Structure 1
Amino acid sequence: MPATSPGGSRIALNNEFSQLGSRLVRFGQAMQEPCTTVSDLMRLAQACGINLKLRVVAESQEATGGNHVSS
């Protein structure tokens, strides 16, 4: 293993943060795209070190207060 100078390790650390930032940006973009699949989100989250847990809840009219127009 080659020896690194303090400046060299700082550059490596900056590069790691830069790469993480890029992965987080991509994850955020994917979350905003309606065509992104759950498996894509899971993969992108894992690449960022995020343990993504999703829960699906069915929405009913009773839960939304019955906001409908009747004639």
Structure 2
Amino acid sequence: VDPTGCGDAYRAGLLYGIQKGWDWETTGRLASLMGSLKITNRGGQNHKYTRAELAGLYEQHFGRSIKL
């Protein structure tokens, strides 16, 4: 568990959702997912997920599909 970069990952998800014009609920869920995935990897930039992996995790955790 390493919180380094969690805020940055959260912010990336937040800004992505805003840029896509998503509603706040979807945007916040993606941001939360990004931050929580980052904490499982040591270091600020050692987390790597494909869009397909992120979409699958989003659906698994929130029960809704998302197009990234």
TM-score, length basis structure 1: 0.32
Structure with higher RCO (Cα < 8 A, 6+ apart): 2
| Larger relative helix fraction | 2
Larger Rg: 1
